[in-house]
């Protein structure tokens, strides 16, 4: 294994060191590791926009890590501290994220150095459209070449602006809708995309808890029911993960960490009420029936069963890794644990469900949206009525045979519609289960594979390497 990284190690350094750990356990042809690791291209751009009578220069990037499969796929991040190193690291993660869940994309990522909160809606729209024009000039927005999606600081609105800009520039492209994913459903998006990454976190944890031996190794037992969960970041990913885990799996969200601090209630926090409070007040301070901790980062060290870091990269480092009490950590954000901290946590007996698997729900549903846009038909349109008719016939037959009504919970499940949202959830659930099965097999069948992260990288690298050796010139 590679030695721990220094505290000055960058996000990209951490990702590459994690890759090296996996490479060291694989028998790959000479030079192939370098070919797989290296970022293929990075486009940096600076462009002026007139804001309130003054010109301002904005800086952005789009990195394409791998083109072993096309198009390149990855989110578009709007943040004041975004930089090229971060974008390259995220693009690299996206390559292996897509591979581990069998989504046929190469890895890409984009970023614009901007604080969206500083601008009016019309100003932000102008900036976003201008950035889209710059990317389009290099084919970095294209249904076949490079397909952005939402990320930190962006959402359906920004994706709609970018998609519309591409359509205006390419009125003859019949597949123009597929140039961007994460769009509103009304203009070519897919239902379930907004919640997809958070839903994927839930499915990842459910998959983990289907293996009693994995649960035991983490020092836990049983199911998600009653597990104490600390969530860092109540943005889109953290909110949906916390909501589903508490409402559908019976977990208790005992602490939520936000920008202004953290709140704790060992009996469980009402996630939707907290989210509404944050929208109204800009933070969690003052939320009723909870204990407020001004130093929110310290609550990462709070006693709990499961820690879900869903904010930014580099939140658990050498400085606080030894204080983490969570038995199981599920990386909802990209790169929340540094390379050195990852080694410390593993040696201390913590189990980590890694970001390149746990965080893959978003790109999986983006893949479904891309397919929908290319096929020009919504999921469920062909089979919905047939499934409903068949379910109704089965219920009628059963009730006629036993002369009793089908129990309500079973009847409700049988009558569940095969609509787009349910099909998306079914596809995502299946994807996360199958991916975890593959990772688990590598982890448990090889004594030299120390953890789920290394196993996940091995699974992903094997798939990428196959395309390099069998298909690429």
CA neighbours closer than 13 Å in the CB half-sphere of residue 6: 2
Spatial distance between the Cα atoms of 383 and 173, rounded to a whole number of angstroms: 29
**Would you say 111 and 61 are in contact if contact means Cβ atoms under 8 Å apart?**
yes
- Cβ neighbours of residue 264 closer than 8 Å, sequence gap 6 or more: 254, 255, 290, 291, 293, 299, 302
Dig out the tokens for 179 from the structure: 């140039």
Which position among 109, 183, 327, 372 bears the catalytic label?
A: 109
Q: What are the φ and ψ backbone dihedral angles of 249, each rounded to 5 degrees?
A: -110, -5
Radius of gyration of the chain (CA): 23
For the question of residue 372 being annotated catalytic, the response is: no
Structure tokens at 17: 């060191």
* Token reading at 77: 């991040």
What does the DSSP 8-state code read for residue 8?
T
Q: How far is CA 316 from CA 190, 339, 348, in A?
A: 34, 10, 14
For residues 124 and 33, what is the distance between their CA atoms, to the nearest angstrom? 41
Q: Are 274 and 284 in contact (CB under 8 A)?
A: yes
- Measured CA to CA in angstroms, residue 215 lies from 204, 243, 253, 306, 329 at distances of 13, 22, 19, 11, 12
Alpha carbon 369 to chain centroid distance? 15
- Phi, psi (deg, nearest 5) at residue 92: -65, -50
What does the alpha-carbon distance between residue 422 and residue 97 come to, in Å, rounded to a whole number? Answer: 23
Provide the β-strand partners of residue 258: 261
Dig out the tokens for 322 from the structure. 């030894």
What is the C-alpha separation between 335 and 17, in angstroms, rounded?
12
Catalytic site residues? 109
């Amino acid at each position: 294994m590679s030695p721990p990284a220094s505290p000055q190690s960058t996000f990209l350094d951490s990702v590459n060191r994690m890759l090296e750990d996996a490479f060291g356990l694989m028998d790959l042809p000479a030079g192939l590791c370098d070919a797989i690791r290296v970022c293929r291209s990075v486009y940096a751009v600076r462009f002026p926009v007139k804001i309130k009578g003054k010109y301002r220069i904005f800086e952005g990037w789009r990195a394409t890590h791998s083109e072993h499969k096309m198009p390149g796929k990855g989110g578009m991040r709007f943040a004041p501290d975004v930089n090229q190193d971060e974008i390259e690291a995220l693009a690299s993660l996206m390559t292996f994220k897509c591979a581990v869940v069998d989504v046929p994309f190469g890895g890409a990522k984009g970023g614009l150095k901007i604080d969206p909160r500083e601008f009016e809606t019309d100003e932000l729209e102008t900036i976003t459209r201008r950035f889209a024009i710059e990317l389009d000039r290099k084919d970095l927005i294209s249904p076949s070449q490079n397909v952005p999606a939402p990320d930190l600081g962006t959402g359906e609105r920004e994706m709609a602006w970018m998609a519309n800009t591409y359509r205006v520039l390419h009125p003859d492209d019949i597949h123009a809708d597929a140039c961007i994913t994460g769009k509103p459903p009304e203009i070519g998006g897919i239902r379930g995309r907004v919640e997809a990454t958070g839903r994927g976190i839930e499915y990842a944890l459910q998959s983990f808890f289907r293996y009693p031996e994995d649960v035991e190794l983490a020092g836990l037992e049983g199911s998600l029911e009653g597990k104490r969960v600390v969530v860092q970041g109540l943005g889109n990913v953290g909110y949906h993960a916390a909501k589903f885990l508490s409402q559908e799996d019976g977990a208790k969200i005992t602490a939520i960490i936000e920008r202004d601090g953290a709140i704790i209630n060992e009996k469980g926090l009402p996630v939707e009420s907290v989210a509404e409070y944050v929208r109204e007040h800009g933070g969690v301070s003052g939320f009723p029936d909870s204990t407020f901790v001004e130093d929110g980062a310290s609550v990462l060290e709070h006693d709990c069963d499961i820690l879900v870091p869903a904010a930014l990269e580099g939140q658990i480092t050498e400085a606080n890794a030894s204080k983490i009490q969570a038995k199981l950590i599920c990386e909802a954000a990209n790169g929340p644990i540094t390379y050195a901290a990852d080694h410390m946590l593993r040696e201390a007996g913590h189990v980590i469900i890694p970001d390149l698997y746990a965080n893959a729900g978003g790109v999986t549903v983006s893949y479904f949206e891309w397919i929908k846009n290319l096929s020009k038909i919504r999921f469920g349109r062909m089979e919905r009525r047939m499934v409903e008719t068949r379910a109704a016939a089965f219920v009628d037959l059963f009730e006629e045979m036993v002369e009793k009504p089908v129990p309500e919970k079973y009847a409700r499940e049988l009558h569940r519609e095969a609509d787009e949202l349910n099909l998306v959830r079914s596809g995502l659930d299946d994807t996360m289960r199958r991916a975890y099965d593959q990772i688990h097999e590598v982890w448990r069948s090889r004594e030299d594979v120390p953890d789920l992260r290394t196993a996940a990288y091995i699974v992903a690298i094997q798939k990428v390497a196959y395309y390099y050796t069998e298909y690429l010139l």
